Amino acid sequence: MNNTRFDYSPIIDRKPFKLPNNARVALWVIPNIEHFHIDRPSTSIVPVTVGLVPDILNYSWRDYGVRVGIWRLMEIMEKYGVRGTVALNSEVCEHYPRIIEEGNKLGWEWMGHGQTNSRFMANMTEEEERIVIKDVISTIERSTGVRPKGWLSPALTETFNTPDLLAEEGIEYVANWVNDEQPYPLKVRKNSLISVPYSIEINDIPAFLDLGRTGEEFYQMMVDTFDVLYEEGGNSPRVMAISLHPFLISHPHRSKYLEKALNHITSHKDVWITTGAEISDHYKRNYLTMESLIKS
C-alpha cells in the first residue's frame, strides 16, 4: 500500500520558507524523559541480561537519566539559553514530579510521549490508542499546568490511526516523521497536524548504541550538521533537531561534547533557538493558512 498522509514535495520546488528575524536555522533540542517498567525490556547497553526479569543492569542504567542525568542536561542547556522541548512519558509526572517542577522553572515545553517507553503505540486498536492518547494529554496537562501541543511516540511508533487521533484530541504537531528539514502538513480527518522535523541521526540512541560513536564523534556530527544547514539556510532556512536521552548524553564523558556543540551553535548569529510548539505555530500562522487558501 502507498502512504497517503502527505504529498511528495521536493524541497527545491517549494515556495520560499522563512523563519522569524530571517534566521538561517531553527534549533530545537528534545530531551526524552521517560519512565521504564522493571519487568519489561527496553533500551539497553548490555544485551546479555536483556531477557532476565528483572534486568537490573539495564534498568538501573536507564534510571540514571532521571536521578542524575537530567539535572546535568538542564544545567548545560540553561547555560546556553536553550529551552528543552521534552518528549514526556506521562508516567514521569507521577514518579518524578521534581523533574516537572524544575522544567517549568526553566520554561521548558512538554509534549506527549506515550505513557511509558515500556509500551509502544503500534498494534493498538483504535479505541485502545484513543484512550492512551487522552490519558497522556490529560495527565501532562494536570501535572505541568499546560496542555501539550506536540507529540513524539515512544520509539516513533504509530498505527495507521495515530495522526487522526492526535489531531482529534487537539495535538497540533507531531515529530514521528523524520523525512524533512522543514515543517509540512499531514493529512488528517479533523483539524490540522504539522510534522516538525525530528532527527533519528542527530540522536544519541542510534549514535552511541547502534553505531558505537564516541562523545567526540557525536559532537562532530552535531557541528557538521549545523554548519551545512547554516550555509544552506542563507537561501532556504532549515530546522535542526538534537534528540537526547539523559541516561545516555548526560554521562560525563559525553556531556562535555554536548556543551561544546551548543557553544558552537549559539555563537552564530541568525539562529532561532526555539521549541517545537514555536516552530509549529510559526508554520501554521504563516504557511498553513496560505496553503489552505490556495487549495480552496
Q: pLDDT tens digit string along 138-161?
A: 999 999 999 999 999 999 999 999
Q: Is it the case that residue 267 has pLDDT exceeding 50?
A: yes
Q: What is the DSSP letter of 285?
A: I
Residue 43 lies in a domain: yes
The Cα diameter of the chain in Å comes to 58
Residue 6 lies in a domain: no
3-state secondary structure of 93: helix
d(CA 181, CA 286): 17
Residue 135 lies in a domain: yes
Q: How confident is the model at residue 293 (pLDDT cuts 50, 70, 90)?
A: very low
Q: Is it the case that residue 162 has pLDDT exceeding 50?
A: yes
d(CA 280, CA 174): 9
Residue 1 lies in a domain: no
Q: What is the DSSP letter of 208?
A: I
d(CA 245, CA 205): 7
Domain with 182, as residue range(s), is 17-295
Q: Is it the case that residue 292 has pLDDT exceeding 80?
A: no
Domain count, the chain: 1
Residue 4 lies in a domain: no
Note the pLDDT of residue 290: 52
Q: Is it the case that residue 9 has pLDDT exceeding 80?
A: yes
Q: Is it the case that residue 291 has pLDDT exceeding 60?
A: no
Mean pLDDT, to the nearest integer, of 37-42? Answer: 97
Mean pLDDT, to the nearest integer, of 188-199? Answer: 97
Question: In b/e form, how buried is each residue of 176-208, taking b as 16+ CB within 10 angstroms?
Answer: bbeebbbbbbbebeeebbbbbbbbeebbbbebb
3-state secondary structure of 207: helix
Span 121-134, pLDDT tens digits: 999 999 999 999 99
Q: What is the mean pLDDT of the chain?
A: 96
Residue 12 lies in a domain: no
Q: What's the CATH number where 185 sits? A: 3.20.20.370
Note the pLDDT of residue 289: 67
Q: Among 187, 131, 194, 192, which Cα is nearest to 167's?
A: 192
CB 201, CB 224: distance < 8 Å: no
Q: Is it the case that residue 288 has pLDDT exceeding 90?
A: no
3-state helix, strand, coil in the chain (%, to 5): 45, 15, 40
Q: Is it the case that residue 11 has pLDDT exceeding 50?
A: yes
Residue 262 lies in a domain: yes
Q: How confident is the model at residue 294 (pLDDT cuts 50, 70, 90)?
A: very low
241 membership: H or E segment, kind and range? strand 238-244
Q: Among 198, 197, 204, which Cα is nearest to 218's?
A: 204
Percent of the chain with pLDDT over 70: 97
Where residue 92 falls (left for φ over 0; alpha for ψ -120 to 50; beta otherwise) is alpha
Distances (CA, A) of 128 to 67, 122, 132: 31, 11, 6
